[in-house]
Amino acid sequence: MALGINAPLVKTPEQLVGVDALILPGGESTTMSMLLDTSGLRDSIGERLADGMGVFGTCAGMILCATDVLDGRPDQRGFSLIDMTVRRNGYGRQLDSFETDLSVDGLADDFHAVFIRAPYVERVGPDVEVIAVHDGIPVLARSGRCTVASFHPELTEDTRLHEAFIATL
């Protein structure tokens, strides 16, 4: 019940009923794509997202939300929610993971971001609002009710990005 929000774990289509918004977390995006199929969640989530359900995709979740994915498996499918091209593991291997402080539009103080085998944004569409960049590359963006991050905000104690997402709903 973090932030005063009931946030159930969703592993089946039945558990999605009554959920107002979804966080697509980090992880391994090809495995997540396969699990969406084997669990039966892909169609249920796709329908809800098409109806306007809010979503926050972090790291692998960003990959699942992007319209175009480079270096993915040919059978990997996402939801095409935000007009951007991302490269899987674009920042490098696990050993290349890093942490940095980001200036984020709308936040008074920097946000400490944790990048782990993060997707690299190669292109953003004209209707995508870039909220934060690292070395000139978008790492936090929003379009409509879809927010995406290349990094893992859930790995810090700082809840401001989740609060901002909730405020968009």
Distance of CA 158 to the CA centre of its chain: 17
pLDDT by position in tens, the chain (length 169)? 468 888 888 999 999 998 999 999 988 888 888 889 999 999 999 999 999 999 999 999 999 999 999 987 777 788 999 999 999 888 877 778 899 999 999 999 999 999 999 999 999 999 999 999 999 999 999 999 999 999 999 999 999 999 999 998 8
Predicted model pTM: 0.93
Name the active-site residue from 59, 134, 146, 162. Answer: 59
Q: How far apart are CA 62 and CA 68, in angstroms?
A: 11
Name the active-site residue from 146, 152, 157, 163. Answer: 152
| pLDDT on residue 149 | 98
DSSP 127-150: TPEEEEEETTEEEEEEETTEEEES
Give catalytic status of residue 146 as yes or no.
Answer: no
Residue extents of the structural domains in the chain: 2-167
In sign, the C-alpha dihedral spanning 69, 70, 72, 76 is: positive
Give catalytic status of residue 59 as yes or no.
Answer: yes
Give catalytic status of residue 112 as yes or no.
Answer: no
- The CA–CA distances, whole Å, from 17 to 22, 71, 168 equal 11, 33, 20
Query: Dihedrals φ, ψ of 60, to 5°?
Result: -60, -30
Name the active-site residue from 65, 134, 154, 162. Answer: 154
Task: Tell me the CATH number for domain 2-167.
Answer: 3.40.50.880
Taking each continuous run of H as one helix and of E as one strand, the counts in the chain are 5, 10
Residue 61: helix, strand or coil by DSSP? helix
Radius of gyration of the chain from its Cα atoms, rounded to whole angstroms: 15
